[in-house]
Amino acid sequence: ASPVWSSDGGFVLTILSLSLQPILLSLRRGQATVTYAQSLLGAPETRLTALDNGLRIASEETGHSTCTVGLWIGCGSRYETEKNNGAGFFLEHMAFKGTKKHTQMALEQQVESMGAHLSAYTSREHTAYYMKTLAKDLPKAVELLSEVVQSNALSEADIEQQRNVVLRELEEVEGSLQDVCLDLLHATAFQGTPLGHSVLGPSQNARTLSRQDLVDFIRSHYKAPRMVLAAAGGVTHEELVGLAKQHFSGVSFEYEDDAVPVLSPCRFSGSEIRMRDDDIPLAHIAIAVEGASATSPDIVPLMVANSIIGSYDITFGGGKHLSSRLARLASEESLCHSFQAFHSSYSDTGLLGIYFVTDKHHIDDMMHWSQNAWMNLCTTVTESDVARAKNALKASLVGQLDGTTPICDDIGRHVLNYGRRIPLAEWDARIDAVTPRMVRDVCSKYIYDKCPAVSAVGPVEQLPDYNRIRSAMYWLRF
């Protein structure tokens, strides 16, 4: 489907081939086009069911011949202590090294014989194990996932072998300066709190985590009320619920001595951290203020605000014709190689920021204009700015759901965060309700005269003093 802009500011999806059966469209035979709003209304319903032990099952049926099914768990590095930080990431590596029923080789053969793809990831608040496979193999996929999560062998030999793998990954991540910069940003912004932990954990923990540490982490956090079995594609909800009852009814919902883990509040600290290395060719810098939580009503206006700032890369075309003011400046004045506005939202807080990569001679200018862009959000946002940002944001939300795997991930995270899956039509209505006044008011609340957190890696000698950066959060408004 190719997007065509319409006179009302939305866009129409022109169908090139009806045999493609786009996920978001519900078409009658012979219908050539549908509007964006009609496509949202035609999106399949996400159904939700809960088992007696509290585990939730959520699915979206699209009629595809393939599907993605996975288990999303409400735990991540935020639930770890300094002693066991990295346990969740270590378990991700152990997930496919064999279960009590299948050796690693047997597990791999089972997955390969299905032509499936088995994967996992860990974030600060979530852990996911999922499989993409043919729809007809859904029962086997759910069975294998239940084994991976509930019956991991965790052999001492495999644990020792994976230590070296994890250590090598830590070295590789150190080569990704964007990851390093954003991890440092969390470390300084949420210093002294669990959100300051990196997902991978320190190398020292990778060397010392024991089998008992991993077992204790599973027992403490892998509880049924914190789990969502999500699926998207060629699945039926009734079948998925039946499979969940068969394989996950035994997951415990009780905690030893009723010691239910409670997340401690994560305090935001205006602060900075710099890692100067003049041998690195470009400086990687992030500046952020405390943002909104995932469930905050301010989240959508902030999403629109971030869309106004947008992103830029030196390879982009457009130059002075780019819609983002900061992108136009970056292109015309060669301020940076790239930048992106971001908002990392968590259950009770967030980080609203701008990350950019530039040479050492333009650090000061890029920091100035980045903060200026923030101040413009608080003061001079126009109707046309908001209209363009809304269209870009809507296109981004739709574009992210380009297959069964991202849809399944969307379902799992939404049910953990909100208790339900928020449909695209509802997001669309919330975005449409945003006005320039709302953007100015919400951005003033989060940005104006706030203490920022700053992280910088590379040749950062020219990065302004923190007090100067802080004062600009006030004076740039005038």
Would residue 108 show up in a list of annotated catalytic residues for this protein?
no
Q: Look up residue 153 and give its two tokens.
A: 């062998």
pLDDT for residue 323:
84
Q: Identify which of 57, 56, 76 has the alpha carbon closest to the alpha carbon of residue 261.
A: 76
pLDDT tens-digit readout, 350-383: 999 999 999 999 999 999 999 999 999 999 999 9
Active-site residue, from 61, 80, 92, 272 = 92
pLDDT for residue 41:
80
pLDDT class of 70 with cuts at 50, 70, 90: very high
pLDDT tens-digit readout, 261-313: 677 789 999 999 999 999 999 999 999 999 999 999 999 999 999 999 999 99
Average pLDDT, the chain: 90
115, 120, 121, 122 alpha-carbon torsion, rounded to 10°: 170
pLDDT for residue 42:
80
Rounded CA gap, 360 and 358, in Å?
7
Is 349 within 8 Å of 415 (Cβ atoms)? no
**Mean pLDDT, range 248-263, rounded to an integer:** 79
User: Above 60 in pLDDT, residue 5?
Assistant: no
Rounded CA gap, 117 and 99, in Å?
17
HEC sequence for the chain? CEEEECCCCCEEEECCCHHHCCCCCCCCCCCCEEEHHHHHHCCCCEEEEECCCCCEEEEEECCCCEEEEEEEECCCHHHCCCCCCCHHHHHHHHCCCEECCCEHHHHHHHHHHCCCEEEEEECCCCEEEEEEEEHHHHHHHHHHHHHHHHCECCCHHHHHHHHHHHHHHHHHHHCCHHHHHHHHHHHHHCCCCHHHCCCCCCHHHHHHCCHHHHHHHHHHHCCHHHEEEEEEECCCHHHHHHHHHHHHCCCCCCCHHHCCCCCCCCCCCCEEEEEECCCCCCEEEEEEEECCCCCCCCHHHHHHHHHHHCEEECCCCCHHHCCCHHHHHHHHHCCCCEEEEEEEECCCCEEEEEEEEECCCCHHHHHHHHHHHHHHHHHCCCHHHHHHHHHHHHHHHHHHCCCHHHHHHHHHHHHHHHCCCCCHHHHHHHHHCCCHHHHHHHHHHHCCCCCCEEEEEECCCCCCCHHHHHHHHHHCCC
Is 256 within 8 Å of 427 (Cβ atoms)? no
Measured from the Cβ of residue 314, the count of other Cβ atoms closer than 10 Å reads 11
Tokens 């495999």 correspond to 158
**Mean pLDDT, range 54-69, rounded to an integer:** 94
pLDDT class of 9 with cuts at 50, 70, 90: very low
pLDDT class of 440 with cuts at 50, 70, 90: very high
Q: Which residues neighbour 369 within 8 Å (Cβ) at sequence distance 6 or greater? A: 326, 329, 330, 335
pLDDT class of 136 with cuts at 50, 70, 90: very high
**Mean pLDDT, range 464-472, rounded to an integer:** 95
Q: Where are the domains of the chain?
A: 2-41, 46-254, 271-475
441-468 in b/e burial notation, b at 16+ Cβ within 10 A? ebbbebbbebebbbbbbbbbeebbebee
What number does CATH give the domain 46-254?
3.30.830.10
**Mean pLDDT, range 188-205, rounded to an integer:** 95
Q: Identify which of 18, 24, 16, 1 has the alpha carbon closest to the alpha carbon of residue 232.
A: 24
Identify the CATH assignment for 271-475 out of 3.30.830.10, 3.40.190.10, 3.30.2310.20, 3.30.450.40: 3.30.830.10
Residue 109 dihedral angles phi and psi, to the nearest 5°: -65, -40
Q: What percent of the chain has pLDDT over 70?
A: 92
Angle (CA) 412-47-3 rounded to 5° is 75
Tokens 């946002």 correspond to 381
